[in-house]
Amino acid sequence: MEPNLLTNKSALVTGAAQGIGLAIATALAKRGASVGIVDLQGAEVAAASLSQQFPEQTFTGYELDVRDAEAVTAAVASFVEASGAIDILVNNAGTAARVGIDEITAEQWQRDLDTNLGGTFNFIKAAVHPHMLHAGTGSIVNISSISGINGGAVSDGEAGARSGPAYAASKGGIIALTKWVAKEYGRQGIRCNSVAPGPVESALTAGQAYDTSNQALDRMGTPAEIAEAVAYLASDGAAFTTGQILRIDGGAVMS
Question: Does residue 123 contact residue 72 with C-beta atoms inside 8 Å?
Answer: yes
CA 104 to chain centre: 24
Q: How many CB atoms lie within 10 A of CB 179?
A: 17
Determine if residue 131 is left, alpha or beta; phi over 0 gives left, psi from -120 to 50 gives alpha, anything else beta. Answer: alpha
Please say whether the dihedral angle defined by the alpha carbons of residues 39, 235, 83 and 141, taken in this order, is positive or negative. negative
81 contacts: CB under 8 Å, gap ≥ 6? none
Calpha distance 70→34 (Å, rounded): 24
Distance CA 191, CA 170 (A): 21
**DSSP one-letter code for 56:** T
Residue positions counted in the chain: 255
Q: Report, as residue numbers or ranges, the catalytic residues.
A: 167
